[in-house]
Structures are given as structure tokens and as C-alpha cells.
Structure 1
């Protein structure tokens, strides 16, 4: 991907922290208000952003992303050596890295962890189909052998979502029972619905080099980081305005002016951040029927949903394509006549073709992300106009992430995603992700895209993938949106990022 274009992505806000090289104070507690209680602290077991936000401070991956969204070493000593045929990746590890239990990280831990990842994580399962072997060559060298070239591999190993974290080889239980990582902070205490308390890990060995996005040096200025669930968005806004927390995540965008006028806090805006998405249960139940999925899409007014969710076009844009114009992945393939349709008559014809008999269409949403709920309310009315019986189920986010794992419990769930540097990172692309999109057309397009290493050819192949997505409707993009958070004016060293991180952050006393 071209770095000149990458510089314009959400990475424009992921500023290299090298500009924050002034002396920062040690000590204190960074209090972070989150949208709720994470369903787990095992980032392999969940694709929820909330899990990644917390767990990235405890666990680390072989690679991470720099400010330009390029993979950069984290636990690895360098980017992998890749064989000429693209089927062998040799990864050298940094020496002297210790787990929170005091043991040394070595290649056996990496092998065991990657094997767990291929069994537990949706993106690991997705990758497993191309892996023929993972082995330790020596104490600090791991070799991954593939059956076919797989271009997204390093990006998948770098992602903190459904993450390929490295655990001690003897602590690979599923579900996770020992939360032992190599990160700059370690888990001290978790009180459900109250807080997650992390404390500085004094034996932490940081990567070298200037801070660069999620990469480079990781300082531990704060003694503790405390993540506090604040599910109600209005409560989060008031907490931001009053300065009750050092960082408040995921605020309704209409609160921008209030936060901007606060004497205690300041807004943190990511523009463009990502896209709200309706994930359809294309592998199970009534939404397994393609005509019914097309009827859902034909019913919806993306314009009205985005206006309800974000108020003004200062904070959103209507766009069918899965990537905006700043990305090299941008293509309009498949989008014509398949976006912002809001045609009840057309939807009704598709419902008739689907043999729909009034069964309740179960929509899972949550008020913790208020824009999800607002879109769901608007969608429900348009779906009713088209002839659907709608069962709108409003639950907390942790419950939603649990229910979506059971394909018998839902037909649509509402979520969102940042724009990701590698399309293979999009969760719904995996046949193992909730929704279970698994068709011959998907396999043909996605496998060809993943097997191609030439960047220019991959751009063209991504257009083929997007075309299949619009033909088969496994999920529906609603639009592009900006994301708003807030930080205390006493909090230094925090760069705006889709998954906020607090190594390199400090509290001014």
C-alpha cells in the first residue's frame, strides 16, 4: 500500500509520540471510562474493540502497527524473512523479554500461542487453513510454513483484535485462567462492572526506537491504569465535561462543542474513523435466504440512519464503498443501485420471492454505543414499512458479543469497525466470524486476494471481493463516521488512536 495515501488515513491522528519527548512525570493513576464491561480479557477469544483496548496493555503480539499502519516488530526482533515462494516465514524474537510471572519468553511460547490462536481466534482459524506447520528452530527463532502464499499474515499477527498474543507455553488454557503477558502493565484486579486495575510491570523490556504509532518504545510513566465501565453515553459526556476521568472513550459526536468548552477536558477526534455495519446471519436462520437479505438492504435509508446517529454531515458521510477515497483500497465495484435504497415496494417484492411469512426479524443492538441504537430505531421503522415483523433486542454490549456467537439467537447485529489497513482484517471476511459467511463465490474472491503478494494486483482483486460482498449481502455498510473521545488537560502523551493506549502517557501533577 502506498505510504503517501496511508498518511491520510485515520493514521493522520495516530501521531508519532516522538513529538512528546519532553520530560513526563512518573507516578499516578490514569482513569479511563469505557463503554462497558469487556466480555473477556482474552483478546484471542473476542473481536470486540473494548477487549483489545484493555488487553493490549497486558499482552503483546509479534508485530504491531506504526503511525502509517505498516507492520512493525513488537516481540519479534525484525520483520519476518519470507521465502521466495511466499510459503515460509522465519521470525526472530527479541531476547530478554519476560512474562509477568518472571519466566523468559522463547520460541516454545510463541509456537504454543500461535497454535492456540489458530484454534481459538476467529482470525486465527481463518489463517489456519493456509498453515502447514509452526515450529521452533532455536530458542529465539520460529518458522511458520504455509500451504499457499498468504499476503495478510503479518498484518494478522500484528492486529490487537482476535489477536495472536504470546502467552507462556504452560498457560494456554481455554478459556484463559492465567492472565500473564509480556506487556508494560499487568492485571492486578478485576471487579466486574466496577473496574479493571492494571499496574506497572517493573521487569518490562520495551522495544527500542522512538514511539511510532503502536510501535517503538513503550514507557510506563503511570503507576496504574484503571478501566472503569460507564455504559450510559450521557454519563460519559458529563464525566468528560467535568474531568472525572483522564480519558473518556466513545462519546456521541453531538457532544463535541460541550467537551470543547470544558475547562477540564478536550475533544479527541478521529476523522474519518470507520463505518457502522449491520451484520446479517447469512449462514443460519431466515437471513440465510439471499432474497431476504437483499430485502433488508432495499428497505433501509442509510441517509436517515446516519443523520439520526450523528446529526450533521460534519461527523458523517454517505458512501457505499467499504473504503473511503483516502485509501488505496477504494473501489465502487458492486455498489451501483445497492446503497441507500429505501424502497419498501422493492423490498416487498424480494420478501415475497424469499417466501417470508412474518417471522420476527431479530436485531441485536446496544445503547452503550448510542449511535448503534439510534440507527436500529430508524432501521426498524423502515423494515416495518417493507413488511417485516421486527424484534429489536436492546442489550448491554457484553451480552451482545456473547449472543452473536450463537447463530440461533439473532438475525442482525449492529456493530462498527475502524477503517483497517488490510482488508483481510475485516472481521466479517472470516467464515468463522459471527454471521458465518461461507459461499463458493466468497472463497474464490477472498482466496485469490489473500494469495496475491503484488500490491497493485491486490487492489484489483479487492474490487472483486467487494463486488461479491454486494452481490451476497453478508453485511451492510451504513456510511462513514468520525469518532469522538475526550482526554483530561492534565493527561500528556496520548495520541489519538482507534484503540486508545496509555503506555507513554503521564499525568501532570
Structure 2
């Protein structure tokens, strides 16, 4: 027989927001989007309840994680509609780019579209082949994209992927000098307490700016024979067999 083992993963599933877009440059509209999205429902639907919503670049599998990293604009469609009214939103189309090569990205986009529509957005799916979507990601040519980042073993590495100057790096999702300074400081020290404090400042700033919508981290799942002993699942989703043996 086989035994299924799972653990919290390090691969971050996210919704990218183009903050240079005429609509999404408005922080109230981005915050409304965050209030409109039930990330726990999306995570449960996509992982059969194995993962929960996680909006932070600090994964639950990280030693730096605690519940402060789950603080985020709460799911509240009524508040989302109120913010849209304050922002002067008039029902302009907002397109969510996705693809069918990666089923998870497509299904996340469909779920998000339904939630945004319920909150008053005119959300439309734009289904592309993966190569075209990736080209658009590299060029920053999108309003919203359903996306995912591969595992990073340290939170600074994940922040490093999303932070940057959009004028020189279109793949940067968060163009913030304050956040870049905190990120740089997190790379300049090895003290765990100092680094955790910096990550908390980064997350609080990200919850205020909403430059990206983190959904969940893909759980790492393996199936092993009952004869395999000493095996454990690695959050980075690669099998490790050091110290593993097979019984007779």
C-alpha cells in the first residue's frame, strides 16, 4: 500500500496587479479587489482543503512565519463596493489574464472573476496560451494575471522577485522605495529576530499598498510505499532521500 504525506509548501500562488494601469494605479481599487477576494475559499477549492489562504511572501512553512503575516484586508464584498464608489469606478472592464496549460492558474482566475463580479467589478477573463501570457508577464502587459512563483527557501528571495523599479524591470510587481529599503536590510543581516521584524514591516506595508494579491502556497504532497522508512516531505517540493531506507 501507499501512504500520502503532505506539508505546507513554498511555491506561492498569486494574482498579479499592474499598478501602472490607469484603473489599478488607484490604491482604493486595489484594496477593494483584496476585500472582494475570499482567498481561503480559493485555497480550499484548489487544494481540497489542504492549504489555507496566505497573502504574505512569508510562507507558513517558513521559520519566520507567525499569524501576523496573515493580516490582510478581510473578505468583505460590501466594503469592496463602498471603496469602488469612493474611487469613482464606473464599471470599466478589468481583464484577468490566464491560461489553460496550468489548470490551477485557470481555475484561480475563474474563481476570482466570480468574486470580483459579485463585488461590483466588471471582471473579464482573457484566456491566452501560456507562451503569450508569459511574454506579457515579462513585458508587464496586463491588468491582472493569474500566476505562480516557484519555491524560494528564504522570504527575502520571494520579496526580491516581486520588488523592483518597473521602469527598468517590468516583471517587478511592487515598486516601492520604502519596501526596497526594508528588503535590502533583510539581506544585510543574519540575525533571525531582526530579519523577522523587517519581514513584518514589509508585510504590513504590502497590506496597505496591495501591489499583489497572494492566494496560497501549493502544498507539497508525496505518496510513498509502506516499505519506505524515514521519508518526509520537503516544502520545496523535491524528494530528499538522505537517511531514507527500504524495509524488507
TM superposition score category, shorter chain reference: 0.7 to 0.9
The structure-2 alpha-carbon separation of the partners of 1:418 and 1:345, relative to structure 1 and needing over 3 Å to count, comes to same
The separation in 1 between residues aligned to 2:221 and 2:101, in whole angstroms, is 14
The separation in 1 between residues aligned to 2:173 and 2:40, in whole angstroms, is 28
Contact 2:81/2:119 (CA < 8 Å) preserved in 1? yes
Contact 2:72/2:207 (CA < 8 Å) preserved in 1? no
Q: Structure 1 unaligned runs (5+)?
A: 1-259, 488-494, 502-509
Match among 452, 460, 475 for residue 212 of structure 2: 475
The structure-2 alpha-carbon separation of the partners of 1:289 and 1:496, relative to structure 1 and needing over 3 Å to count, comes to same
What TM-score do you get using the length of structure 1 for normalisation? 0.40
Residue equivalent to 1:388: 121
Match among 421, 425, 446 for residue 157 of structure 2: 425
Q: How many residues align?
A: 225
* Mapping of residues 239-278 of structure 1, within 5 Å: 271-273=7-9, 274-278=11-15
Contact 2:44/2:52 (CA < 8 Å) preserved in 1? no
Q: Structure 2 unaligned runs (5+)?
A: 225-232, 240-248
The structure-2 alpha-carbon separation of the partners of 1:279 and 1:318, relative to structure 1 and needing over 3 Å to count, comes to same
1:333-384 per-residue CA deviation (whole Å, 9 max, x = no partner) reads 4643524x0x222111111222222221111112222122112111101101
1:193-231 per-residue CA deviation (whole Å, 9 max, x = no partner) reads xxxxxxxxxxxxxxxxxxxxxxxxxxxxxxxxxxxxxxx
Match among 347, 363, 368 for residue 80 of structure 2: 347
Q: Which has the higher helix share?
A: 2
Pair 1:415-2:147 in alignment: yes
The separation in 2 between residues aligned to 1:483 and 1:396, in whole angstroms, is 26
SS in structure 2 of the partner of residue 362 of structure 1: strand
The separation in 1 between residues aligned to 2:223 and 2:127, in whole angstroms, is 26
Residue equivalent to 1:199: none
* Mapping of residues 142-153 of structure 1, within 5 Å: none
1:116-161 per-residue CA deviation (whole Å, 9 max, x = no partner) reads xxxxxxxxxxxxxxxxxxxxxxxxxxxxxxxxxxxxxxxxxxxxxx
Residue equivalent to 2:45: 308
The separation in 2 between residues aligned to 1:287 and 1:485, in whole angstroms, is 39
The structure-2 alpha-carbon separation of the partners of 1:497 and 1:436, relative to structure 1 and needing over 3 Å to count, comes to closer
Contact 1:318/1:479 (CA < 8 Å) preserved in 2? yes
The separation in 2 between residues aligned to 1:348 and 1:450, in whole angstroms, is 39
Pair 1:336-2:71 in alignment: yes
Instruction: Between the two structures, name the one with larger relative contact order (CA 8 Å, sep ≥ 6).
Output: 2
Moved over 6 A (4+): none
Contact 1:308/1:378 (CA < 8 Å) preserved in 2? no
CA RMSD of superposed structures (Å): 3.0
The structure-2 alpha-carbon separation of the partners of 1:397 and 1:498, relative to structure 1 and needing over 3 Å to count, comes to farther
What TM-score do you get using the length of structure 2 for normalisation? 0.77
Shift of 1:415: 1.6
Residue equivalent to 2:191: 454
The separation in 1 between residues aligned to 2:135 and 2:129, in whole angstroms, is 10
Residue equivalent to 2:228: none
1:252-279 per-residue CA deviation (whole Å, 9 max, x = no partner) reads xxxxxxxx98xxxx98x66322331111
The separation in 2 between residues aligned to 1:465 and 1:321, in whole angstroms, is 9
Residue equivalent to 1:104: none
SS in structure 1 of the partner of residue 83 of structure 2: helix
